[in-house]
A and B are shown apart, each in its own frame.
Chain A
Amino acid sequence: MKQKWKSSLFLLMAVIMLLSACSSGGNNDTSGESKDEKIKLVVWIWDAAKMGLDANMEAFKAENPNIEIEYQLMSQTDLYQKYLIAANTGDKIPDIIAVESSNLAQMVNIDSLYDLTDKVAPYKDKIVPFKWEDATKDGKVYAMPWDSGPVVMYYRKDIFESAGLPSDPEAVADRIKTFEDYKEVGNIIKKKTGNFMFQDSKTRSNNRFFETMMWQRGLWYFDKEGNVSLDDPKVIETAEFYASMVKDGIVNDAEGFSESWLNAFADGKVATIVGAAWYDGLLENMIDPDSAGKWGVVQMPKWSVDDQYASANDGGSNLTINANSKHPEQAWKFIEFMLGKEESQLTMLKDAGSLPSLMTTYEDAVFSEPVEYFGGQPVRKIYTQALEQIAPQSYTVDFPVANQLMKNAFAEVFLNNSSVADTLKKTADELRSRTSRK
């Protein structure tokens, strides 16, 4: 029967494959057990971040011919999951792990990262102070900061103009000093042009806007002692203000980076982005490539003019070393080359748009260059100014949980029309029980 032929063929194929597997399969014993000069480092990183490192690879290889780098790519969420497993099984792979600042404290807390305190000592005061907060546990440092995301305000000059508002950066900075000004301008723009001031999802927000508002004020989900501060009157006040902007109708209901979010920009319906410096590359390449020359940049609004700090951080990453790595010294060499050298960081800025946390780079001419997309405005100066003004605080270990609960809190406020104060008090208690804090 034909059937028998097919099945025997299959079995034959299977046997052949089995045999080939037995010969070539088995573990790739990475991180080199051999004692010869070449050693291999495995780096766990996501695609977009790798682009930055790629730009420096030639220079690195030239200086370190004995170190071979193998990049293993995965999305950020997968990376944290895999790392948790590796950490808990004492795995020697990977050697180097890229970690976003938002999750850094959580990863440090697992106690499987290599102690970098001595190694980073010479860089301590060369790097923006707030970056060290999440990297530190019990006085020891476990990560080397990479890039930062100082929050600024991008705005559409043409929309401002058609609403009768000033549009050149200096004038705009003067007009919008506080969030009250921001809201006021938002209402003007809505009345005169029907456009929105910014975009955020009511029920599925990532809370970046709200978190920026808090951070700039020096507030957060937790206070300096580690207690939950969601029901702190100042935090409630900030949340109520945010909700009032949504209720005024100046916020377009769209989830960040979703299709409708992107199209709202393309259709010229949104006037500003209060977002991190990394938006500039995105604006030019993905969000609004056709609007070159229409966007300008100024410092983000403050809660109050007398606030000590003027900006917040959103995003940014770090590089860490696995405590079980067989080659921590070489791993540090790699990290130091990439993140400690001004040249490397500047290359990454130019090629991948990542803003260095290494303050010594800021003297470079590239920061005063006019940027064509922004109509010739030297926007990078604004980023570095903002960087130096970021309130020194950290995401903290429980940031992911807090962020999740906050999202639900706002969803409840907007869906069920509950009062902000009551919802926040309830959420604060839930956060307390979940994180065993006070």
Chain B
Amino acid sequence: MASKWWRWQQKSAPYLFISPFFVLFGIFLFYPFLYSFYLSMVQWNGGKTKTFVGMDNFKRVIQDDVFWLTIENGLIIMIIYVPLMLLLATLVAVLLNSNWVKGKGFFRMSLFTPNIMAVVAVAFVFSIMLNGDNGLINVILKQLGLIDVSILWLDSPVWARVSVAAMVFYRWMGYNMILILAGLQSIPKDIYESAYVDGATPFQVLIRITLPLLKKILVFCVILSTLGSFGLFTEPFVLTKGGPLNSTTTPVLLIYQESFTNLNFGYASAIAIMFFFLMMIFTFIQMRVTRDND
């Protein structure tokens, strides 16, 4: 029954299955990866000469206020939108998973739409709505009597961060909702049935059963959103160009600016490496903290 071939294929299966990733990685990513390490130790402006400077770029990054500001921006933006977004996404996913809500398909499509619109188009609409005195948002807020003076959504560092976070929230809520919904779909019905038989309320079911079973998905969403906050590029680039005063510049945006506006490739690479290590540490901590004992 257990032939040699069968045993071999059983042992090697996992390695074979993951090989496409590693083959492609080896060909296309590995060398560029190493190259960026190399670049981080030179001074290069895109021209013919690269000057070796050792760890100078890294020293500069560590002392660069703007770099640490970008880390801070990532954290702030993350705190503003992630918990709220995941809460709402879970709530909506649960609703769209229940059997008494009508028109689920329509709601699902509509909520996913922000994610499929081109970022430029979304940023365009947001910038018009967030305009100084005449933008829709300020007009509405004034009508409701909530504010007297227009909020400078895009011109003040504080509000600019809120604006960018709002745009990111808008784009990614539906996306996370879909992910959580897919997770909910995989929870077998019997579990709920037996819970209700035992007399549990819907709320108890949500907290004690649904959420724990969703844990892996939720962890995934949290990690993604975290990486996403720091790796934000298109949204701040199109909406605020990182301003005002670098308040919405994310690390990735900074890397882009240093590479292609300032032509400081070596320095940009050093930032990228630092960013990479910080993200690895962050993710590692997150995975550790939420580790389940499978």
On A, residues with C-beta under 8 Å from B are 77, 80-81, 84, 87-88, 106, 109-111, 201-204, 253-254, 258-260, 263, 400-401, 404, 407-408, 411-412, 415, 434
Residues of the B chain whose Cβ atoms lie less than 8 Å from the Cβ of A407: 243
Give the contacting residue for A87; candidates B46, B246, B257; CB below 8 A: B46
Assembled-state Cα–Cα distance A254/B157 (Å): 16
List residues 196-215 of chain B with CB under 8 A from any CB of chain A. none
Which has the most chain B C-beta neighbours within 10 Å: A203, A259, A260, A411? A203
Nearest 5 A-B pairs (CB), nearest first? A203-B244, A411-B245, A110-B47, A110-B46, A401-B262
In the bound complex, CA of A399 to CA of B127 (Å): 27
Q: Is the CB of A415 within 8 A of B156?
A: yes
Closest-by-CB residue of A relative to B244 is: A203
Q: Is the CB of A203 within 8 A of B155?
A: yes
Tell me whether B155 and A202 are in contact (CB under 8 A).
yes
CB neighbours (8 Å) of B244 from chain A are: 203-204, 411, 415
Q: Please pick, from B46, B134, B157, the residue contacting A260 in the complex, using a CB distance under 8 A.
A: B134
The answer to whether B47 and A111 have CB atoms under 8 Å apart is yes
Chain A CB within 8 A of B241 CB = yes
CB-CB under 8 A for A259 and B127, given A80-B260, A203-B245, A400-B261: yes
Given contacts A203-B243, A253-B132, A260-B131, contact A106 B263 (CB under 8 A): yes
8 Å CB interface, B162-182 against A: none
- The bracket for how many chain B residues form the interface is 20 to 34
Residues of B within 8 A of A109 (CB): 45-47
From residue B38, how far is it (CB to closest CB) to chain A in Å? 14
Assess whether A401 is in contact with B261, with CB atoms less than 8 Å apart. Answer: yes
A201 to B131, CA, bound (A): 12
Complex CA distance for A88 and B47, rounded to whole angstroms = 7
CA distance A184 to B159 in the complex (A): 34
Given contacts A203-B243, A411-B243, A412-B245, contact A88 B128 (CB under 8 A): no
Q: Are A258 and B155 neighbours in the complex by a CB distance under 8 Å?
A: no
A259 touches B243 (CB 8 A): no
- 18 CB-based A-B contacts, threshold 8 Å: A77-B260, A84-B46, A109-B46, A110-B48, A111-B47, A203-B244, A204-B155, A204-B243, A259-B128, A259-B131, A260-B131, A407-B243, A411-B244, A415-B157, A415-B244, A415-B245, A434-B262, A434-B264
Encode contact with A along B207-242: 1 for CB under 8 Å, 0 otherwise: 000000000000000000000000000000000110
Max count, chain A CB within 10 A of own CB: residue among B157, B240, B260, B264: B260
Residues of B within 8 A of A259 (CB): 127-128, 131
Interface residue B154 (Cβ < 8 Å from any Cβ of A): yes
Q: Are B154 and A204 in contact (CB under 8 A)?
A: yes
